Amino acid sequence: MPPAGATPRSYGGLLVAVQRSALLAVLLALVGSASLSLGAAERTVRIVALGDSLTAGWGLPGDAAFPARLERALKAKGLAVEVANAGVSSDTATGGLARLDWSVPEGTDAVIVELGANDMLRGTDPKITRQALTEIVHRLTARRIAVLLAGMRAAPNLGPDYGGEFEAIFSDLAAQNGVLLYPFFLDGVAAEAKLNQRDGLHPTAAGIDVIVARILPKVEELVARVRDKGAM
C-alpha cells in the first residue's frame, strides 16, 4: 500500500517507465559503440618508411622524398596517416636491422621496409641480406606492427644465379610471414632516364611520384590491415 497522500502508480504506467529506461539504455549503448568504431576509423595511422637513399630522398628536398609524397597521396584519399622518413643513404639490410629499434619507435602501426638495394649493388651474399630482412620482419611482427616489404631486382651484370637468389628473398619472406609485398620498389622508374637523376640510380621528384602512384594501392591495403586489427 502507498503511504497516505501518495499518488498511486498504475501497473501500466510502471511498465511504460521501465520500457523507456530500457530503450534509453540500448540507445546509449549503440551511440557508445558507434563512437568507438568511429574513433578507431579516424585514428591516425603511424607509418615508418624504413629504407636507404631511395626512401631518404637522396638529391631531393625533404618534401619531395618518398615518405612525404606518400603521406600527401594517402591524405588526398581521405586517410588519416603520418609517414615518417627513416631512410638512411647507403644503408644495407644489416644496417637497417642494427638501427631498427630506434628507427621504429613505440606507437608505430606499420612499416614499409625498403632495404636491399645497396646489398645488391655491393654484391653482398644474398644469404646475409635474407638473414637481416628475416630478422627485421620477425621483430616487427612480434611487435604487432603491420609490414609492407618492398622488393628489389638485381642488376643483370650480377648474373642469373645471383639475381635469382637475391630476388627470391622478398617473395619468400612475404609468403612465409604473411606480410604484404610490393615486388619492385622502382617499378616504372628503373632505367627510365627522364625519371632518374644523373647517376641513373636515384629517382627525380617526378620519379618519386611514379613510385608513389604505383605502390599506393598496396599501402592502402597496409592501412586497412591496421584498421582491421584496431577494430578487433
The span from the CA of 141 to the CA of 129, in Å, is 18
Active site residue 53: yes
Given the residues 52, 91, 119, 202, select the one marked as catalytic.
202
Identify the pLDDT of residue 84: 98
User: What proportion of the chain, given as a percentage, has pLDDT over 90?
Assistant: 80
pLDDT at 74 over 60: yes
Homologous superfamily (CATH) for 43-231: SGNH hydrolase (3.40.50.1110)
Distances (CA, A) of 30 to 34, 42, 78, 102: 6, 18, 26, 41
Locate the domains of the chain by residue range.
Answer: 9-42, 43-231
The span from the CA of 118 to the CA of 84, in Å, is 21
Given the residues 10, 52, 53, 109, select the one marked as catalytic.
53
Identify the pLDDT of residue 231: 61
Q: At what angle do helices 160-177 and 126-142 cross, to 10 degrees?
A: 10
24-28, 39-43, 63-67, range with greatest mean pLDDT: 63-67
pLDDT-based confidence at residue 20 (cuts at 50, 70, 90): low
The pTM (predicted TM-score) of the whole model is 0.82
Active site residue 202: yes
The span from the CA of 68 to the CA of 56, in Å, is 10
Supply the DSSP string of 72-111, one letter for each residue: HHHHHTT--EEEEEEE-TT--HHHHHHTHHHHS-TT--EE
Active site residue 101: no
Distances (CA, A) of 176 to 94, 109, 180, 229: 20, 21, 11, 20
Given the residues 21, 187, 199, 209, select the one marked as catalytic.
199
The enclosing H or E element of 219 equals helix 205-231
Distances (CA, A) of 4 to 7, 9, 11: 9, 13, 19
Mean pLDDT, rounded, for 16-37: 47
